[in-house]
Copies of this chain bind each other. A is one copy, B any other.
Amino acid sequence: MKIAVIGTGMVGRAVAGRLASLGHDVVIGTRNVERTLGRTDPEHTGASPYAEWHRNNLDVRLVPFADAGSHGEIIVNATNGAVSLQALAAVGADNLAGKVLIDIALPLDRSETPPMLLVANTDSLGEQIQRAFPQARVVKTLHTVLADIMVDPARLPGNHNIFLAGEDEAAKNMTKELLREFGWRDEVIIDLGGIKGARRSEMYMPLFFALTSALGTYEFNIAIVKG
């Protein structure tokens, strides 16, 4: 499929690279192509400069936000959650209309260590995006694990779970199909219902980040254990 990943950070790269390796026609959208390719310092997350990743992933084209929006039959929001609404506005409401918009972003409040959330309990980023782009078919998923695990759950042993939420059943089914391509088996995908479920899965993240400290690693996920 033609897929546009919005965001050039670690999550965007992991998802775009994996989708391309699965045979999809993938672009990454950025605000300013020249500037993104011109950066030489590592990112604040510790990621290498984009140009370095780009050289090893030439099948993924880097294009301006609006071009990404027109390319993608599916749009993946992998931007910094603090600026997702602006980035998606630049992608273009018209480009998002009617399309599946997979939202992986996190509205992190980095003034806390480990981070807390910029929005929680009474709202969520997933819901904000659905409200801002009512014609997009938003599905919130994948944000509860490290980027490398999002696209390759077999990095961890045994069963562990991933959540999704959204209003549009067909959009959720298309998203599940991509999750299956990444390696998430049907029985580990948990549907939290409508987009309000985004609030619930985003609110798990403060615990997730505390666990990264307690466990000393980001390479983990949670598994539901039933009686």
Binding site for B on A (CB under 8 A): 116-117, 120-122, 155-160, 163, 190-193, 197, 199-201, 203-204, 206-207, 209-211, 213-215, 217, 219-227
Contact = CB atoms under 8 A, between A and B. Distances in A.
15 contacts: A116-B199, A155-B227, A157-B225, A159-B225, A190-B214, A191-B214, A192-B214, A193-B210, A193-B213, A199-B206, A200-B207, A204-B207, A217-B226, A220-B224, A223-B223
Prevailing SS type, chain A contact patch: mixed
A113 to B, nearest CB: 11
A211 B225 contact: no
Q: Count the copies.
A: 2
A226 B222 contact: no
Given A116-B121, A121-B120, A206-B121, A225 B214 contact: no
A224 B221 CA distance: 6
Given A222-B223, A223-B223, A226-B220, A210 B200 contact: yes
Given A190-B211, A200-B206, A222 B220 contact: no
Contacts of A122: 116
Contacts of A120: 120-121, 203
Given A116-B122, A117-B121, A221-B225, 4 more contacts: A156-B227, A190-B214, A190-B215, A200-B210
A209 B219 CA distance: 25
B224 A225 contact: no
B156 A225 contact: yes
Contacts of A163: 207
A156 B214 contact: no
Contacts of A200: 206-207, 209-210
Contact of A211 (B160, B220, B224, B227): B224
A163 to B, nearest CB: 8
A223 B160 CA distance: 9
